[in-house]
Homo-oligomer: A and B are copies of this chain.
Amino acid sequence: MDIDWDGITHVTKVDPAKPLPSDLGALEGTDLVLVGGSDDVTEANTLEAIAAIDDAHPSLPVFQEPYSSSHVSKATIEAADYLSVPAVYNGDREHFVGKHVDLFTEVGSKPEALLGASLPVVGDLISSKGADAVADLATNVVGEGYVIQHLESTAAATSGVEATYTSEQVAGAALATETFYGFPIFYIEYSGTYGGPADVEAAARYLEETALFYGGGIDSRAKATEILEAGADAIVVGDCFHDDPETFRETIPE
């Protein structure tokens, strides 16, 4: 699936360890779903959540955003449109480059396990087809440049974040994303609390090709509007999707 980044204004973060609302109609107005979380998430409940969303809204893009490589399998990569892997600028080494090399080493060295037994196994064919298949698989992975700005969050603890960034550093990380790393997404994550527009304004100055996501504490139309007017391409709304459908609907831009 090719993603029309320009058309993405509202993103829903779904935690597969929490029950889905009985009526998924609320997703009608969202443009993208990220499926992922930390506590109690498994490969199995990830697959269930993706399948339920796909059934209700077949044309809605669904990304798996794994917190651990144990949530990822050939089945989840095939079920989701993309595997979106956070690169946490203010996290520890593991959460920027360490886990990425591990992931791609695993993808590269076990193509048969990841891709099923259908690869030709004759002479040079195995290596050439294997490499092509691995390359295909890898193109379903996108990077998200992340800055986690709420120290008292599970996301910060999980990613080894020991300090938040100033708005100037957020801008520097945005510029690095746009011109150096080239990730398609730059994501300012206030996880559970509302951070206001300052970091978004600082980052937006340097982002043209990169989609700017903001997540954290958006529980009203006013906050959604404030963040979008500050320059975010999309707001990410999580908690109230599971807990408070009325508030969730309010966050969807008209």
Residues of A within 8 A of B (CB): 85, 87, 89, 92-93, 96-97, 100-109, 127, 131, 134-135, 138-139, 141, 143, 168-169, 171-173, 175-176, 178-182, 205-206, 208
Contact = CB atoms under 8 A, between A and B. Distances in A.
Given A105-B169, A109-B168, 5 more contacts: A101-B169, A108-B171, A131-B206, A135-B208, A182-B182
B89 A141 contact: no
B104 A168 contact: no
Interface centre among A104, A106, A141, A173 (most CB of B within 10 A): A104
Contacts of A171: 105, 108-109
Given A131-B206, A181-B182, A107 B172 contact: yes
Contacts of A102: 172
Contacts of A172: 101-109
A134 B175 contact: yes
Contacts of A173: 101, 104-105
A109 B169 CA distance: 9
